Structure 1
Amino acid sequence: MAIIFAGCSTENTDEPLASVGEKVLYRSKVDEILPKGISAEDSISMSNNYIDKWIKQELLIQKADENLSIDQKDLREELEEYRNSLIIYKYKNELIKQRMDTIVTNQQIEEFYNNNPSNFNLNYSIVKATFVMIPGDLADPELVKSLVADTSPEGLDELRDYCGQYAKRVNISADEWISFQMLEKNFPNKVEDDETFLTQQKLYEMNDSNYYYIVSIHDYKLTNDLAPIEFVRNNIKNLILNQRKIKFLKEIEENIYTEGVRKKKFRIYDTKTN
């Protein structure tokens, strides 16, 4: 059960709030987890939750301590391995931040894309499209169609102004590739076959009892098509950086080993018997 108490103590003493066996939870520890400016009600709720979790954890630790053997509770080896792994991890990350080249040029991205086309086949259809959903009693289909057809910067601004006044929902992606499935979620009816829908025509009008819908497909790529480079640019950058990171860390390990050999920092013992 949670221990409900009022806000932070104004006294200098660090009062105990809970105990399990000889372990004691003090107010200062609970105060550390409370955000600044929190209300008294939220402070009590968060504090009580923390106290409950602390009690349950300490009881579990106590029960484990009572039931595990001395050998099972000897964690020195595991702790040493964890400490070593953590130190190495932090050291490598620091080296990466300080010394690894993280600049990826457009030329490098294009070369990677051109040299690995099979890596960038699409798993789903993508489109450049404009979608508008307008209440049926406000819709002027001919006007909307003319606005949607103009993909110039001025035309898109005019469409946005119109949609700001009348549209219930809009997605203007005339210059940006998006997942067709994400766009389709806005349709009144599910599309059974992406390829048929996308290849049949460029402009679709739909209606239900409340809304008029219009979808203009400016461009599309189907599942298994080669993804446009702009759609996978960030993925390629991450791939290049990951490969660079693997190579960099391998070189670091080799350099440290070479230094160890040169400075005779280690010795391998001959364990062969005569």
Structure 2
Amino acid sequence: MAKPVIWITGASSGIGAAAARKFSKEGYSVILSSRKQEDLHKVMESCEFPEDCAVLPLDLAKTDELQDKASEAIKIFGQVDIMFHNGGISQRSLALETKLEVDRKIMEINFFGTIALTKAIIPHFKAKKSGQFGVTSSLVGIIGSPYRSSYSASKHALHGYFDSLRAEHFVDNISVTMICPGFIKTNVSVNAMTADGKPLNQMDDAQANGMSAEECANQIFKGLKKKKEEIYIGGKEVMAIYLKRFVPGIFSKILLKAKVR
């Protein structure tokens, strides 16, 4: 039998790279995508079965190219079974100081790029009457946090979109798992956009002390296998979701005192 195929965006580093290695080890064929072709090849070579992996560079900001990229991805192994939307960019800047073009770029990559790729792959899922989306959101896709206004907005938007998509395509045997990591030790904060669009170029303390990308990938694998609708990954910061849900007033007071930058 052919191996199941997972297509991972944002696969050149961090959670995406760790997920590529995990799924390869578990017997999946893996398509690795991001803008950084050289880094993708390095990740592919680090996988358990690199001969069952393929590199497909893409840029989520170039939405007019994503239909062709989906067609290419399907041709590589003859099918795609899981579309793991993991590509994106973060933010570290105050809302008032952030240039509108920065807000737009974050939404263009995190939201519009993701849904453009989704629209491109859904006909394939419908035709074979099966498919799964894993979508990397964030804890701030459920709660808001200072210095992350547009990033948080882009992740909130993904929840709304994919919750609707899940209901619309249940009859097509297409499932959606929203993945909400907290503090994971990756370069997400290093690459985060600041108010003028330049990268932050430093790692948050919380990120530096966070869960490893490998453990995060292990939990993602388990969540996707069980086809959970949402999975929350991280340490004590995950409790913020439940505080927001059940005692929002108390949560707001805690957030005002928290060091979240």
Give the TM-score band, short-chain normalised: under 0.3
- TM-score of the superposition, structure 1-length normalised? 0.17
- TM-score of the superposition, structure 2-length normalised? 0.18
